[in-house]
């Protein structure tokens, strides 16, 4: 396109236009331009075939004395006006006759579904009609973007929101107003007949909607990406982004026509959507299974999607080109410009997931960015380690975890009269299922995330090894393929486990259960019961509970997950949480934590699935060998954890459950309070109660299984030692100088709930100064405390000081505040915490659920880290702030002296 002539541009525009619009366009040309176009069209016809309809029109229009009159100044508005008058009926001939054959499965038996069956001739004719038009549209869009992209960007940004909406609705009348309209239509399909009538458009182009396209950069990204890349790069992705439009395997298996279509590996429209006839049916099946070709039904669906998208983008681009004559604009267009800077979604150092998710369909399909997946999995592994160790070390953290899961017991769902069993309500002991979640599940997640992180690192290394050897029409190397499949399957099983816990705790979560009741008549089993809404969840036009219950059902039901895809369900769940404060308040912190983990798994699965065409082959291999090879490997890997779970279920230990009960105050742990004799006594009592529980639990697991959860991940904990509060000793005035040195340095004032890294911190309260004295507590290992370590810590902190503003400095002082500091303590606003992290060189990315992922950008930190946003409030409680501070100390060696005011 860089060397295209005005005549070639004129031809591209002519072929891109629908037939009725070609006529009005021809009339707008001068006699000289008509002659040039006729000559160029004749040359074009020698090299490529065009549809019969286009040939007939060209033959009629190019004949002498055809009666067409020249229209001077063929403005863009004139062309648009002609389009509105003549094109709509012709366009619907193509779509309505064909697309009724592609109704979603929930409409397949309705009156709206097509009764006839498409023949091979129908499908071939559709593809032969669509490809030339896609070719012309793409050439025209490319020409506009190459020459006018800067103008298009500036004019789009100059428009108000209302003006932008006019542009979009002009190019796509009746555009859906909200994000993922296909999900809204599906959720409300049973109660709104009018929604059902719009199914076909919403399921085919779910990302064509005003809410997303009115975001500042979305349309500009869409135009840039589709113009500068050949349609084959989007072929498979376009179909995967419309899961409910895509024909199901059941629909395809009933056909045996001996054809498939090839989209990949070509930058020529002569070979695009090429039909292949197979003599051997097995070869055809293998070609589709490995992703080299695609079923002809899916192929025609891809063309339907791309044809309308390119029409829409050409309309938007031509509207934005300007008020002057369109032909003058093209004739006077400068030489193609270098590509403008890419459009970023980063807002003040923050990357928001709903913005990324909403822009993803408009960008180039992701390459295999394993580095990002490794970063996500590694950060989640470190968070899982922190969580597991805190359960072992910190009494208050353990008590909070127990209280949280007990508050999500299914028995707390009231009956139809709003009452719950008093016996259940007063039961403070953990039941086996709760023990499995609090202990086994959380410790096992350390193992799982470590395994995922390692597998992704191996996969990353292999992908680098074969970076230059991967060819579109060839299989992946064997070791690459095997690692890919094993990683994919393990992530899939992780998602199922997380969904099981979501199903167990979602309905009983405090914000949701008040809208539900137990339906014990739904089953004859006294140990189980049904759950139903207290009233019809669809009584109101906008019902948050009804919407949320539908999403929960989509999570639970495997058929729905396969149909809608986990990625789409997660996207809709995130949209629901971000919609308003009332919706967010329906998600409890426990559910938000589970959603955050599931979101990372779903992101990994979606990213691997986007590695087309090879992902198709991998997923087909998993499906064929699921019950043998992959399940066997998975069960063997997780067998030690299965034995621990089974021990809980078959031989529950009542004493262990009693010791874990947290409601009697035995785990009260005032670590954030100024140290006094009374405070230290309470802390030591709580630590002793927690140790007693773990001693009983470890003895039970060793007796039943020969392992403990802690022993199965001990290598990942790195030989850490428990901190235990020493006996209170009255401070001596002679040590005031030493105390002043360390008063505000939190790294030498231990706080429970976190891992002890001997290279970065020390434990114990410094009440004496002799350098050779060691303090030993009763722990699983001796802990040495040396005064020399205090000096080393201070030197590290001062040598890596960050210069920050007053707002960030206030945050860090609260994070690393010593309990003995006289400074006033307060809660930290979450936005201030984000600001502080960004100010020291971290990029902040909001994940789904409550998690935020912080990745070093300009910081000297060597790894990423994740923190959970307080939910539903937006302030970090004092105890949370202290825990976050301790995590930052262990991860990066930070203390309060690491930050200086600018």
pLDDT at 712: 92
Question: What is the side-by-side strand order in the sheet with 350-351?
Answer: 350-351, 842-846, 851-856, 865-868
Spatial contact of 395 and 693, defined as CB atoms under 8 Å apart: no
Which is nearest to 600 in space by CA: 449, 459, 457, 482?
Answer: 449
Phi, psi of 516 (to 5 degrees): -120, 170
How far from chain centre, in Å, is Cα 633?
Answer: 28
Does position 328 have pLDDT exceeding 70, yes or no?
A: no
Q: What is the pLDDT of residues 274-298, one digit of tens each?
A: 999 998 888 898 888 888 899 998 9
Residues 6+ apart with CB under 8 A from 706: none
Q: Report how far apart the first and last C-alpha atoms of the chain are (Å, whole number).
A: 52
* 672 lies in some domain: no
Tell me which of 625, 659, 693 is where a domain ends.
Answer: 659
Percent of the chain past pLDDT 70, that is, above it, reads 70
pLDDT at 326: 52
- Same domain (yes/no): 325, 407: no
Which is nearest to 897 in space by CA: 812, 791, 838?
Answer: 812
Q: How many residues does the chain have?
A: 902
Residues 6+ apart with CB under 8 A from 259: 120, 275, 276, 277, 278, 284, 296
Q: What is the pLDDT of residues 347-360, one digit of tens each?
A: 555 555 556 667 77
- Same domain (yes/no): 497, 417: yes
Does position 72 have pLDDT exceeding 50, yes or no?
A: no
Q: What is the pTM of this model?
A: 0.74
Helices and strands in the chain: count of H runs, count of E runs: 42, 12
Kindly state the tokens that stand for 51.
């549809």
- Same domain (yes/no): 128, 246: yes
- In angstroms, the CA 494 to CA 497 distance is 5
Find out whether the peptide bond into 872 is cis, omega within 30 degrees of 0: yes
**Mean pLDDT across the chain:** 75
Give the pLDDT mean for 113-126.
72
Regarding predicted confidence, which is higher, 18 or 31? Answer: 31
Regarding predicted confidence, which is higher, 21 or 510? Answer: 510
The domain in which residue 167 lies consists of 6-333
Does position 423 have pLDDT exceeding 50, yes or no?
A: yes
Kindly state the tokens that stand for 49.
């075939």
Does position 48 have pLDDT exceeding 70, yes or no?
A: no
Using alpha carbons, list the distances in angstroms from residue 622 to 253, 454, 455, 494, 789.
19, 20, 17, 15, 53
pLDDT band of 425, cuts 50, 70, 90: low
- Same domain (yes/no): 457, 542: yes
pLDDT band of 800, cuts 50, 70, 90: low
Give the pLDDT mean for 142-157.
87
Kindly state the tokens that stand for 828.
């930290």
pLDDT at 256: 64
Does position 754 have pLDDT exceeding 50, yes or no?
A: no
- Same domain (yes/no): 362, 318: no
- Residue 322: which region, alpha, beta or left (left: phi > 0; alpha: psi -120 to 50)? left
- In angstroms, the CA 92 to CA 98 distance is 9
CB atoms closer than 10 angstroms to residue 258 = 15
Spatial contact of 533 and 629, defined as CB atoms under 8 Å apart: no
Percent of the chain past pLDDT 90, that is, above it, reads 19
- Same domain (yes/no): 23, 82: yes
* 343 lies in some domain: no
- Same domain (yes/no): 637, 773: no
Which is nearest to 613 in space by CA: 144, 260, 343, 184?
Answer: 260
Question: What's the structural domain count of the chain?
Answer: 3
- In angstroms, the CA 266 to CA 12 distance is 20
* 567 lies in some domain: yes
pLDDT at 123: 86
* 727 lies in some domain: no
- Same domain (yes/no): 749, 603: no
Does position 659 have pLDDT exceeding 60, yes or no?
A: yes
* 344 lies in some domain: no
* 427 lies in some domain: yes
Which is nearest to 673 in space by CA: 785, 775, 896, 825?
Answer: 825
- In angstroms, the CA 871 to CA 509 distance is 14
- Same domain (yes/no): 315, 385: no
- Same domain (yes/no): 325, 361: no
pLDDT band of 254, cuts 50, 70, 90: low
* 641 lies in some domain: yes
Using alpha carbons, list the distances in angstroms from residue 47 to 36, 44, 253.
17, 5, 38
Regarding predicted confidence, which is higher, 849 or 187? Answer: 187
- Same domain (yes/no): 213, 289: yes
pLDDT band of 518, cuts 50, 70, 90: confident
Tell me which of 598, 626, 659 is where a domain ends.
Answer: 659
pLDDT at 218: 92
Residues 6+ apart with CB under 8 A from 129: 51, 94
* 665 lies in some domain: no
Tell me which of 624, 659, 694 is where a domain ends.
Answer: 659
Q: What is the pLDDT of residues 708-734, one digit of tens each?
A: 999 999 888 877 788 888 898 887 765
- In angstroms, the CA 180 to CA 186 distance is 10
- Same domain (yes/no): 559, 623: yes
pLDDT at 735: 47
pLDDT band of 84, cuts 50, 70, 90: very low
- In angstroms, the CA 606 to CA 197 distance is 30
pLDDT at 253: 63
Give the pLDDT mean for 822-834.
75
């Amino acid at each position: 396109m860089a060397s295209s002539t005005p005549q070639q541009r004129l031809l591209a525009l002519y072929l891109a236009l629908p037939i009725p619009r070609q006529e009005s366009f021809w009339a707008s040309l001068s006699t000289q331009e008509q002659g040039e176009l006729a000559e160029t069209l004749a040359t074009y016809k020698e090299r490529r075939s065009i549809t019969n309809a286009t040939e007939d029109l060209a033959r009629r229009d190019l004949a002498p004395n055809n009666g067409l009159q020249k229209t001077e100044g063929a403005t863009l508005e004139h062309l648009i006006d002609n389009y509105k008058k003549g094109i709509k009926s012709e366009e619907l001939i193509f779509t309505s006759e064909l697309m009724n054959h592609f109704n979603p499965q929930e409409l397949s038996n309705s009156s709206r579904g097509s009764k006839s069956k498409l023949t091979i001739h129908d499908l071939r004719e559709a593809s032969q009609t669509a490809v030339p038009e896609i070719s012309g549209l793409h050439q025209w869009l490319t020409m506009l973007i190459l020459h006018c992209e800067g103008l298009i960007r500036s004019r789009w940004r100059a428009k108000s929101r209302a003006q932008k909406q006019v542009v979009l609705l002009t190019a796509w009348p009746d555009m859906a107003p909200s994000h993922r309209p296909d999900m809204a239509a599906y959720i409300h399909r049973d109660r709104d007949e009018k929604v059902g009538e719009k199914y076909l458009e919403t399921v085919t182009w779910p990302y064509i909607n005003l809410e997303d396209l009115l975001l500042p950069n979305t349309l500009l990204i869409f135009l840039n990406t589709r113009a500068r890349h050949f349609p084959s790069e989007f072929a498979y992705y376009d179909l995967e982004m419309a899961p409910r439009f895509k024909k199901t395997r059941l629909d395809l298996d009933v056909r045996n026509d001996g054809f498939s279509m090839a989209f990949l590996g070509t930058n020529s429209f002569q070979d695009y959507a090429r039909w292949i006839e197979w003599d051997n049916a097995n070869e055809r099946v293998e070609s589709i299974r490995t992703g080299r070709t695609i079923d002809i039904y899916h192929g025609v669906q891809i063309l339907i999607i791309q044809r309308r998208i390119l029409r829409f983008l050409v309309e938007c681009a031509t509207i934005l080109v300007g008020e002057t004559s369109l032909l003058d604009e093209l004739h006077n267009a400068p030489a193609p410009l270098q590509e403008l800077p890419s459009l970023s979604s980063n807002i003040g150092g923050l990357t928001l997931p709903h913005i990324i998710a909403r822009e993803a369909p408009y960008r180039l399909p992701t390459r295999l960015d394993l580095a990002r997946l490794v970063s996500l999995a590694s950060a989640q592994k470190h968070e899982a380690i922190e969580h597991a160790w805190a359960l072992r070390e910190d009494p208050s953290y353990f008590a909070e975890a127990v209280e949280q899961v007990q508050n999500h017991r299914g028995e707390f769902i009231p009956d139809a009269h709003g009452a719950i069993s008093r016996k259940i309500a007063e039961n403070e002991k953990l039941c086996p299922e709760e023990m499995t979640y609090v202990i086994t599940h959380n410790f096992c997640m350390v193992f799982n995330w470590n395994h995922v992180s390692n597998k992704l690192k191996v996969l990353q290394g292999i992908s680098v090894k074969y970076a230059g050897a991967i060819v579109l029409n060839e299989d992946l190397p064997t070791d690459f393929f095997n690692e890919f499949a094993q990683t994919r399957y393990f992530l899939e099983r992780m998602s199922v486990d997380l969904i099981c816990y979501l199903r167990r705790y979602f309905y009983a979560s405090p914000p949701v259960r008040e809208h539900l009741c137990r339906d014990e008549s739904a089953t004859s089993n006294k140990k189980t019961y049904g759950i139903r809404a207290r009233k019809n969840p669809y009584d109101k036009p906008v019902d948050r509970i009804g919407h949320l219950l539908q999403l929960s059902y989509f999570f639970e039901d495997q058929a729905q997950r396969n149909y809608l895809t986990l990625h789409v369900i997660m996207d809709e769940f995130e949209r629901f949480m971000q919609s308003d404060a009332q919706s967010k308040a329906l998600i409890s912190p426990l559910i938000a934590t589970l959603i955050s983990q599931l979101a990372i798994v779903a992101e990994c699965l979606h990213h691997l699935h986007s590695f087309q065409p090879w992902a198709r082959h991998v997923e087909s291999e998993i499906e064929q060998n699921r019950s043998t090879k992959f399940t066997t490997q998975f069960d063997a890997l997780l067998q030690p954890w299965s034995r621990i779970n089974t021990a809980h279920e078959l031989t529950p230990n009542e004493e262990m459950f009693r010791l874990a009960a947290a409601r009697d105050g035995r785990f009260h742990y005032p670590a954030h309070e100024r140290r006094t004799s009374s405070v230290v006594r309470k802390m030591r009592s709580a630590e002793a109660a927690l140790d007693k529980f773990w001693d009983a639990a470890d003895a039970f697991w060793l007796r039943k299984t020969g392992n403990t959860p802690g022993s199965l991940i001990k290598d990942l904990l790195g030989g850490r030692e428990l901190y235990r509060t020493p006996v209170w000793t009255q401070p001596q005035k002679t040590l005031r100088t030493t105390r002043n040195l360390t008063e505000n340095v939190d790294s030498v004032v231990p706080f429970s709930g976190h891992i002890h890294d001997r290279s970065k911190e020390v434990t114990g309260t410094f009440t004496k100064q002799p350098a050779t004295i060691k303090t030993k507590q009763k722990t699983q290992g001796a802990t040495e405390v040396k005064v020399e370590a205090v000096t080393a810590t201070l030197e590290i902190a001062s040598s890596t000081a960050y210069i920050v503003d007053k707002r960030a400095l206030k945050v860090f002082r609260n994070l690393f505040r010593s309990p003995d500091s006289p400074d006033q303590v307060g809660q930290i606003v979450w936005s201030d915490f984000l600001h502080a992290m960004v100010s020291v060189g971290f990029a902040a990315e909001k994940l789904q659920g409550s998690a935020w992922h912080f990745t070093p950008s300009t910081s000297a930190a060597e790894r990423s880290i994740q923190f959970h946003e307080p939910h539903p409030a937006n302030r970090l409680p004092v105890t949370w702030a202290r825990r976050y501070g301790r995590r930052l100390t262990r991860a990066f060696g930070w203390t309060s002296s690491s930050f200086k005011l600018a």
